[in-house]
């Protein structure tokens, strides 16, 4: 065993840790020393979004002690900034999420901080809402979003309801790193500072979501819209059915096998609505009852997936870019048609989200801003432009939408409601959401996106990912798929460069380890190491003109083939 790892293990064996923890360490020493080494070889990093990792004993795992130390550091920073502070805490359906939420609440409370703790599981977006609604200075939600069942996480929020951004993210990290031992943590003694919250906040949140509707009259007229919904064993079941009812929809069919919250996610491998396997039960039910639309949310109900029938009557799942593009277009078009559009309306997307949104916004004279990946950057742009421009919708390719400015994180609950309203609106005109998708492709061009994840696990994974990025940074390709690479955008160095002319410029966004290659034919390729998982993500966007619906299949094959050629050329498979 490495000496540094052994030292950490000895600290746990000799420190103020529960006997059951020490017994587990001793058992692993005998039965699985490699797993023990992985559990202690580093400290689970409190990153700019908080913590996320596999649950278990050790410094590199999600457990009572890593969460308690993180909370102590965050509590210290809140008190530095505000003196007296209030926080809200929520959790999803994952194993140990309630225990982690209660541990977090106890540490905050022991530090003299007023805590509003949800009485049971709730969607993450409601946590963002309640921070603003109750005037809290911060908040925490215990969730690992769509990760496998072995994972859990801890997302930290600031007083505007968004996740931490500079300078607070780095400052909190600094305070967390100062907590050298579990003995530095105030574990108990402030229980009177904890208040349980629930139904009253639900009511306020659902009324806010209902207020986002642009065409409540259309929803009422299409009240029999046949909706299938799956929460994939997560927290969406607590609010989504009731929100759909309040929108006027009375034909909502829940996927019963996935309706009960369960951190073991027994019907899926990954509880991620981006994965077709997670939506298969929903697809089967939608087909069986001939539904109009299928909706799914992830365990903490901040991501949303849509299933619709195509022109051949086959059920297909829209990707995150298609969902975002249709939603952005709806909010822009519907507000115009309803006469509520403002001349200073604006929308926000991320740099790896389809550029088709830029084209739609430009055609409608609506400002469109591109920010770094993550809804905290969308929230920061709203803050920056508050009082000057009117935010209506934001989103990113990873199945996230944020409608209206009453919350500052992605919201699968309001996204389900909006998507069903969009389907009702199209049905009122004798069309489907798929028909609308093709209509937009004909109008703005056929944009096709794809994502490839290159996974690098274990102690060597981070080094291998860093080497891949440095290789692309130091030796960018001159051509890809036979087309010249015109621009290299390096968000870590905050510079853009025209590789043909040598011209360079400054990128006015915070530093982020992202590289983008822009080709002469409008293709873009982005490389971004994940901030929460041991992988590097490659985003591909290609486009072509679509002259008619008859040419859709051929155009799609052409674009898919192009993406496959690029993936092969870049040796990503």
Which residues are marked as active site?
145
DSSP 435-479: HHHHHHHHHH-EEEEEEEEEE--STTHHHHHHHHHHHHHHS--SE
CB neighbour list of residue 471: distance below 8 Å, 6 or more residues apart = none
State the Cα–Cα distance between residues 413 and 210, nearest whole angstrom: 11
Contact 234, 149 (CB under 8 A): no
Residue 222: phi and psi, rounded to 5, are: -110, 40
State the Cα–Cα distance between residues 28 and 5, nearest whole angstrom: 14
Distance of CA 448 to the CA centre of its chain: 21
Contact 310, 356 (CB under 8 A): no
**60-75 b/e (C-beta count within 10 Å ≥ 16 → b):** bbbbbbbbbbbbbbbb
CB neighbour list of residue 493: distance below 8 Å, 6 or more residues apart = 473
What tokens does 520 get?
């002469």
DSSP 116-160: EEESS---HHHHHHHHHHTT-SEEEEE--TTS-TTEEEEEEEETT
Contact 472, 515 (CB under 8 A): yes
Distance of CA 413 to the CA centre of its chain: 13
What tokens does 359 get?
């084209």
Contact 188, 92 (CB under 8 A): no
Contact 50, 155 (CB under 8 A): yes
């Amino acid at each position: 065993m490495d000496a540094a790892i052994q030292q950490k293990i000895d600290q746990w064996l000799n420190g103020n840790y529960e006997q059951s923890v020490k017994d587990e360490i001793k058992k692993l020493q005998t039965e699985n020393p490699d797993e023990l080494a992985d559990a202690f070889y580093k400290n689970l990093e409190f990153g700019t979004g908080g913590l996320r990792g596999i649950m278990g004993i050790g410094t590199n795992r999600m457990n009572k002690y890593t969460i308690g130390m993180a909370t102590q550091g965050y509590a210290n920073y809140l008190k530095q900034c505000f003196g007296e502070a209030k926080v809200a805490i929520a959790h999803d359906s994952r194993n140990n999420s309630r225990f982690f939420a209660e541990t977090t609440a106890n540490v905050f409370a022991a530090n003299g901080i007023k805590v509003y703790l949800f009485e049971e599981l709730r969607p993450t977006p409601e946590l963002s809402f309640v921070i603003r609604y109750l005037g809290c200075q911060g908040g925490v939600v215990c969730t690992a979003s769509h990760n496998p069942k072995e994972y859990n996480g801890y997302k930290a929020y600031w007083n505007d309801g968004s996740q931490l951004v500079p300078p607070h993210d780095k400052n909190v990290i600094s305070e967390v790193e100062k907590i050298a031992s579990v003995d530095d943590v105030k574990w108990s003694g402030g229980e009177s500072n904890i208040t349980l919250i629930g139904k009253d906040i639900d009511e306020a949140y659902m009324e806010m979501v209902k207020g986002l509707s642009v065409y409540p009259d259309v929803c009422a007229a299409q009240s029999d819209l046949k909706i299938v919904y799956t929460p994939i064993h997560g927290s969406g079941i607590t609010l989504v059915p009731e929100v759909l009812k309040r929108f006027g929809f009375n034909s909502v069919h829940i996927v019963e096998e996935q309706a009960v919250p369960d951190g073991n996610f027994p019907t899926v491998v990954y509880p991620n609505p981006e994965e077709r396997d997670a939506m298969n039960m929903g697809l089967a039910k939608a087909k069986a009852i001939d539904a109009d639309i299928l909706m799914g949310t992830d365990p903490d109900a901040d991501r949303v997936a849509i299933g619709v029938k195509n022109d051949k009557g086959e059920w297909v799942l829209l990707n995150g870019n298609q969902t975002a593009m249709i939603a952005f277009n709806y909010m822009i078009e519907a507000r115009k048609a309803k006469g509520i559009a403002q001349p200073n309306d604006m929308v926000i997307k991320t740099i790896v989200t389809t550029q088709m949104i830029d084209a739609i916004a430009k055609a409608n004279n609506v400002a469109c801003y591109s920010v770094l990946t993550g809804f905290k950057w969308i929230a920061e742009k709203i803050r920056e432009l508050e009082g000057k421009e009117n935010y209506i919708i934001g989103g990113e390719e990873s199945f996230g939408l944020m409608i209206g400015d009453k919350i500052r994180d992605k919201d699968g609950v309001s996204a389900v409601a909006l998507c069903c309203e969009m389907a009702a609106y199209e049905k009122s005109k004798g069309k489907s959401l798929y028909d609308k998708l093709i209509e937009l492709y004909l109008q703005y061009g056929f944009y096709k996106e794809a994502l490839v994840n290159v996974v690098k696990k274990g102690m060597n994974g981070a080094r291998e990912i860093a080497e891949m990025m440095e290789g692309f940074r130091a030796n960018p390709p001159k051509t890809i798929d036979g087309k010249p690479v015109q621009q290299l955008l390096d968000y870590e160095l905050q510079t853009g460069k025209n590789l043909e002319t040598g011209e360079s410029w400054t990128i006015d966004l915070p530093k982020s380890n992202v590289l983008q290659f822009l080709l002469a034919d409008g293709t873009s390729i982005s490389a971004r190491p994940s901030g929460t998982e041991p992988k590097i993500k490659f985003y591909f966007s290609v486009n072509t003109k679509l002259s008619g619906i008859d040419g859709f299949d051929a155009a799609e094959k052409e674009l898919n083939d192009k993406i496959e050629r690029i993936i092969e050329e870049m040796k990503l498979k």
